Structure 1
Amino acid sequence: MYQSIRVESRGRVGLVQLNRPQQLNALSSAMLGELARAVRAFDEDEAIGAIVIAGNERAFAAGADILEFQQTSLPELLKGERASAYEVLRRARKPLVAAVSGYAYGGGCELAMLCDVIVASETARFAQPEINLGLIPGGGGTQRLTRQVGKYLALEVILAGRVLTAWEALRHGLVNRVVPVELYLEEALELAQAMAERAPLAARLAKEAVGQALEVGLEEGLAFERAQFLLAFGSEDKAEGTRAFVEKRKPVWKGR
């Protein structure tokens, strides 16, 4: 079904692994199309509560497929799958966890930042080197990196080619945690499983509310949060969650 990714379920977690090891998981249009289809399928699967996107120990994704870029015209780029694939991930309702080891350069860094949380191995490296090709980041790098690490560090990364180590990324809020390389995927799966076990409707509403915090002013964000809270308050899951708490048992979520 897929040529450049591997897909499997681990309990209530959907795992998508980029699988072009000889190209350091360079993001071709075909790979991004497959990634979007896999994420969409997991996002629509009621048996799945969270999604992990990973590469391998050497590379999460070392950027775009430069050979493909060289051979792509502007009209082809405009109608290609790259932007639409990123949009699928941006609009995913379920939590996305990036498991990053090794290179996360260019589009790979942007792909990681599209996820809701990032678990990094000690060997993870984050960079936006597009300027070396006469380009700028085109998958959200100028916007998401700046929001996470601030204007000055973002400009150093984008204009001067600075590479952030895993520990620097942690210090500047770009990743959630750094773990030994042999544990990074297991740690990401465990974190995703913890999210997947929570009430699915509340998880979706909370993810949307947190997303608003970066897009709007405080008053508008508080109003949005209140509306999401009221939706959760009227749900069957809220009734089940409070009942299970009083009865000292594990809740059985229905996602409604």
Structure 2
Amino acid sequence: MGADYSSFTTLQVTEGNGRVTAVLNRPEVRNAIDAAMVEELHLLCADLEENPRTLILAGSNGVFASGADIAQLRERRRDDALRGINSTVFARIAKLPMPVIAALDGYALGGGAELAFAADFRIGTPRVKIGNPETSLGILAAAGASWRLKELVGEPLAKEILLAGRVLNAEEALAAHLVTELAEPEDLLAAAHALADRIARQDPLAVRLTKTVFAAPADAHPAIDNLAQGILFESQAKFDRMSAFLERKKK
């Protein structure tokens, strides 16, 4: 049985068309990620692991997420850090079976940026600001940015963001391919749904296995590619889709 989204207090969740949209909704603190939101994200992941669908993550009131909740973060100690409170749920989001789309507006900073980095796709608005100012607070970006960001934008720019506090504006994020598309704020969710529509036109099993193969470590290839392809070569969708392709070519 899926999560009871009606009981959620920090996420507004809607379902339909083979996808789930989760809007971060703590506008009084610019959607800062607190323990309650982490717990609701875990429940959301559990549902999507059980019933795979594309996930769209967005913010409310012109902000994606301003970061982790500093009031809570200030009180955390060594054992809290070792528990990996945010990093654990972000890793779970990154490993969801179907793609995750982050729709970014306004601030996506600190933990908010790291949540976005865990997504497979990032779409932004012209007013997006994305970066990791953790070192200015005496901590490091320990929920994924310290290693994901290098993979996403390259080492020189990642070091500017992580070590020198650089915050990218929308055009800089687009040039660095950190976001792949810009849309006006009023069109942001529509752009995310248009991308989800394109994903929905693909074979779901092929998408799931491609995401798994893409994330596999280098030494797993080509064995994992061949195993995944072996599964797909036996799927009915492969025969149906290829037959339809060949029929279209005849016309």
- What TM-score does the superposition give when structure 1 sets the normalisation length? 0.88
Deviations 1:176-231 (A, max 9, x none): 1111121111101121122123211101011112223xx416xx534432322222
Change (3 A) 1:221 1:167: farther
Write the letter of the residue equivalent to 1:216.
Answer: A
Partner of 2:4: none
Cα deviations across residues 82-113 of structure 1 (Å, max 9, x unaligned)?
23312321221111011111101011111101
Measure, in 2, the Cα distance between the counterparts of 1:36 and 1:247. Answer: 44
In structure 2, the CA distance between the partners of 1:148 and 1:79, relative to structure 1 (3 Å rule), is: closer
Paired position in structure 1 for 2:43: 37
Supply the AA of the counterpart residue of 2:211. Answer: K
Deviations 1:22-58 (A, max 9, x none): 1111111210110121133134226xx3110111252
Q: Distance in 2 between matches of 1:244 and 1:9?
A: 30
State the partner residue of 2:9.
3
1:161 to 156, 162, 165: 165
In angstroms, what is the RMSD of aligned CA positions?
Answer: 1.8
Structure 2: gaps (5+ residues): 1-6
Cα shift readout 1:109-151 (whole Å, capped 9, x = no counterpart): 1110101111111111111000011111011101111111111
* Higher mean C-alpha deviation, range 127-136 or range 65-74: 65-74
Task: Tell me the equivalent position of 2:237.
Answer: 237
The equivalent residue for 1:204 is: 208
In structure 1, list runs of 5 or more residues that go unmatched.
249-256
The CA distance in 1 between the partners of 2:54 and 2:29, in whole Å, is 28
Task: Give the match's secondary structure for 2:221.
Answer: helix
- Secondary structure, counterpart of 1:135 in structure 2: coil
| Identical amino acids, percent of aligned pairs | 32
Is 1:216 aligned with 2:222?
no
User: Which deviates further from its counterpart, 145-154 or 69-78?
Assistant: 69-78
CA contact (8 A) 1:13 1:193 kept: no
1:116/1:80 CA distance change after superposition, 3 Å:
closer
Structure 1 CA distance for aligned equivalents of residues 215 and 123 of structure 2: 19
In structure 2, how many angstroms separate the alpha carbons of the residues matched to 1:77 and 1:153?
A: 26
Residue type of the alignment partner of 2:72: E
Once the 2 structures are TM-superposed, how far is the Cα of residue 13 of structure 1 from its aligned partner? 1.4
Q: Give the alignment's TM-score, normalised by structure 2.
A: 0.90
> Between Structure 1 and Structure 2, how many residues are aligned?
242
Q: Any idea what SS the aligned residue of 1:60 has? A: coil
